[in-house]
């Protein structure tokens, strides 16, 4: 099956993304198109739940490229992102060689232990070997400074050196999408390697459109009321303002309960679908539900 042709303009890319159910605004569509055309990593920063990870998934879908995801966390090491050796299989190979009396040449036996078949490729290596691909480096702000410096080196030339096997270089640089929830500031050096885009919560009309596109079973009135209520919740200085994903969960929960519009009492009873902290729930429940969810 032939691979889809990359979009030729931001407008084409926007239309292709909309075909997957992802509705970007003009700024995001332009940034994503430039990342694709210029082979530059795209650094997406914004609050959790605004659609950063979903964009990488949608880009993989419209370009027909495999998606490799590297989830960052504190303590993440280079070997967990690049490759590792399968020690279990190497040990079996060693015992088999000894049983077959094939261990007379130690140097040859040692070299055979580092054959490619014993290498476990991790997301960064997979993305370079299986190019063109989409590489999602998710929540890079959770990784340590040391890993960030290592990542900067890999993204500079899309090359990985494996001492036992040689150098692996991507034939076509992967489309790299880095995301950050801004739990800390990512170093300027890494940002300079990337095209930067701040992804905000969608405006009211776009959020209604997203809900209608992703949840066609939900009535338009319910979608509009959920979008309006979600937007109001975001103004309350909550520990975790709801994102698009939470708005979709909320609308789905309400629809599951048979709601066709947002009843204040039902909204209060389903806050667990949209709020994820006890403090946030208590704060909202202390306010007048009619003021938050009515109309």
Reading the chain (295 residues) residue by residue, the pLDDT tens digits are: 566 788 999 999 999 999 999 999 999 999 999 999 999 999 999 998 899 999 999 999 999 999 999 999 999 998 899 999 999 998 998 888 877 776 677 778 888 888 889 999 999 999 999 989 999 999 999 999 999 999 998 988 899 999 888 999 999 999 999 999 999 999 999 999 999 999 999 999 999 999 999 999 999 999 999 999 999 999 998 999 999 999 999 999 999 999 998 888 899 899 999 999 999 999 988 887 666 676 5
pTM of the model: 0.86
Pairing verdict, β 83-85 and 119-121: antiparallel
d(CA 62, CA 139): 23
Cα 84 to Cα 90, 107, 118, 174: the distances in Å are 12, 21, 9, 21
From CA 217, how far away is CA 233, in angstroms rounded? 24
């Amino acid at each position: 099956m032939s691979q889809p042709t990359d979009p030729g303009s931001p407008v084409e890319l926007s239309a292709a993304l909309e075909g997957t159910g992802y509705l970007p605004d003009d700024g995001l569509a332009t940034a994503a198109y430039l990342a694709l055309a210029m082979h530059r990593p795209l650094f997406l920063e914004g609050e959790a739940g605004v659609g950063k990870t979903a964009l990488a998934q949608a880009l993989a879908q419209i370009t027909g490229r495999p998606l490799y995801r590297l989830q960052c966390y504190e303590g993440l090491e280079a070997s967990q992102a690049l490759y590792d050796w399968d020690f279990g299989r190497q040990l079996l190979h060693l015992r088999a060689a000894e049983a077959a009396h094939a261990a007379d040449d130690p140097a040859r036996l040692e070299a055979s232990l580092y054959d490619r078949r014993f290498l476990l490729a991790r997301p960064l290596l997979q993305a370079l070997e299986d190019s063109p691909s989409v590489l999602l480096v998710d929540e890079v702000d959770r990784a340590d400074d040391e890993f960030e410096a290592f990542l900067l080196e890999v993204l500079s030339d899309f090359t990985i050196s494996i001492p036992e096997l040689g150098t692996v270089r991507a034939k076509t640089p992967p489309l790299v999408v880095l995301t950050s929830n801004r739990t800390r500031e990512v170093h300027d050096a890494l940002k300079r390697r990337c095209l930067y885009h701040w992804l905000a919560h969608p405006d009211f009309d776009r959020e209604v459109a997203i809900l209608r596109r992703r949840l066609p079973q939900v009535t338009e009135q319910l979608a509009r009321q959920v979008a309006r209520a979600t937007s109001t919740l975001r103004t309350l200085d909550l520990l975790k303002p709801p994102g698009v994903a939470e708005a979709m969960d909320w609308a789905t929960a309400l629809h599951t309960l048979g709601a066709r519009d947002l009843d204040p009492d039902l909204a209060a009873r389903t806050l667990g679908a949209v709020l994820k902290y006890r403090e946030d729930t208590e704060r909202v429940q202390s306010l007048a539900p009619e003021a938050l969810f009515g109309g």
